[in-house]
Amino acid sequence: MEEARDLILSHISPLPPREFLLPEAVGLVLAEDAVATSPIPAHDNCAVDGYAVRWRDVEGASPGAPARLRWIGDLPAGKSPELSLREGEAIRVGTGAPTPPGADTVVPVEDTRLEGVEVLVLRDPGEGANIRRAGEDVREGEVVLRAGRLLWGPDLGILAAIGKWRVLARPRPRVAILSTGDEVVEPWEEMGPGKVRDANSYMLAALVAEAGGVPIRLGISPDRNEPLEELLKRGLGAGDAVIASGGVSMGAHDLMKEVLSGAGELRLWQVAMQPGRPLAFATASGKPVFGLPGNPVAVFVSFHVFVLPALWRMAGREGSPWRRVRLPLAEPVRRKPGRAYFLRAKLIDTPGGAALTLTGPQGSGILSSCVAADAIIVVPPERTVLEAGAEVEAWLLPPSQVRVARRPVSLPA
Ligand code: AMP
Ligand code: MG
């Protein structure tokens, strides 16, 4: 399984970066260092509504012995100071207003009383209080975000704050998804005898979107070469990667291997794992093509084991999509040797702490075993006998994700 994953990843590269407007960049990986060309705040400014003063004039003020200052004018946010402050004077300021020259402290309005043109300061706020210094958040020349950063809310805030409204980032991987099988029908279609509804492509489209990709559903191909080749070709045209499901086993109607070999280079077939054994991986037109098995549980597992790390790499993300935990099994598990098992499990509370229990029958057609799952237990090939209480590695579900990007709000003209 690990060998297969390494082989697949060796054929995956990060998508080339391009320029994005800021609102489109959420969920993308930054491909450049973002450097502040000016400080934040740009100038010293007032942190509260109140009166800019010289601290020495209000030192020791109290309700019983207020300091009395002369109100000489107003400075709201967004205006540049016209007045400078001299001894015994106060300028009424708004939050965000530049600190008037001569002032070193701002007294919050609630600690003052205005009587005519006299400001009574009822409390000493302390020297330098309520002044925000230029550059105290970000210094000029500082790298605020490094290349490789997955952009989220505060990142976009700070990019906007440094005036960076276009960023170089890696695009979301576009992933074409197709289903195969003479028996597979769309969910709204008549079932008919022997038919099965296409669970896979809807599941895959959702998983791709949650992983930060753009899913492109191509539909269903019957088990015949020409339509399958045609759909694959469309997928290669539309996507940065293609995911197909079904038709990779050893049945007479399993054409995927042949079609993949025809369209490109078949790199891999069959992995020592369960579910997901008959996985095929190819490259065609320079793009990765995943031939996942048809069973929905195998699709779910092999997406997480192989496709998700590939999408991460294409998106330029670092690290692992997995939040791994080691927890005891609540029940014994027996497996055959020679292959890795991926069991779907629920997290439960026990008197001894958190534990994992299987989500019922684990057959590869039992999609409800995935619906109920909080985690995927990874059982390595050599562990065939697991007693209750044995520690196992599990991957928490859902993996670290980027939620589907909403349509970006538009920039003002
Ligand atoms: P295959 O890998 O094509 O032999 O398919 C294995 C099993 O998965 C068969 O029982 C198929 O009917 C089922 N299957 C294949 N594709 C889908 C799909 N898109 N949605 C649900 N089940 C499927
Ligand atoms: Mg099939």
% of the chain beyond a pLDDT of 90: 94
Which ligand has the shortest distance to the CA of 243? 1
Residue 318 confidence (pLDDT) above 90: no
- CA of residue 377 to ligand 2 center, whole Å: 27
**What local confidence, expressed as pLDDT, does residue 407 receive?**
47
Write down the mean pLDDT value for the chain. Answer: 95
Three-state DSSP at 23 gives helix
Least Cα distance to 179 among 135, 232, 143 occurs for 232
For residue 400, what pLDDT band results from cuts at 50, 70 and 90? confident
Q: 215 in ligand 1 pocket by Cβ < 6 Å? A: no
Residue 231 phi, psi (nearest 5): -65, -40
Q: Hey, which bits of 252-362 come out as E strands?
A: 265-269, 273-274, 280-284, 287-292, 324-328, 333-334, 340-350, 353-358
Q: How many angstroms separate the CA atoms of 391 and 373, rounded?
A: 18
Neighbour-count burial for 210-226, b at 16+ CB within 10 Å, e otherwise: bbbbbbbbbebbebeee
> Measured between alpha carbons, how far is 12 from 314 in angstroms, rounded to an integer?
7
Among protein residues, the one whose CA lies closest to atom 18 of ligand 1: 198
Residue range 281-302: average pLDDT? 98
Q: Is the CB of 199 under 6 A from ligand 1?
A: yes
Q: Is residue 408 predicted with pLDDT exceeding 80?
A: no
**CB 246 less than 6 A from any atom of ligand 1:** yes
228-255: pLDDT as tens digits: 999 999 999 999 999 999 999 999 989 9
- Cβ partners under 8 Å of residue 348, min gap 6: 330, 354, 355, 356, 357
Helical spans, DSSP H, in 105-224: 153-161, 199-210
Those residues with Cβ within 8 angstroms of residue 322's Cβ, 6 or more apart along the chain or in another chain: 395, 396, 399, 400
Distance 43 CA to ligand 2 centre (A): 66
280 Ramachandran zone, left/alpha/beta (phi>0; psi -120 to 50): beta
pLDDT of residue 409: 45
DSSP bridge pairs for 112: 121
For the chain, what percent of residues have pLDDT higher than 70? Answer: 97
DSSP code at position 15: P
Q: How much helix, strand and coil, in percent to the nearest 5, is found in the chain?
A: 20, 35, 45
Residue 274's identity, in one-letter code, is: Q
Determine if ligand 1 sits within 6 Å of the CB of residue 384: no
pLDDT tens-digit profile of 96-150?
Answer: 999 999 999 999 999 999 999 999 999 999 999 999 999 999 999 999 999 999 9
Q: Check whether 291 has a pLDDT greater than 80.
A: yes
Q: Please, which residues bridge with residue 216 across strands? A: 176
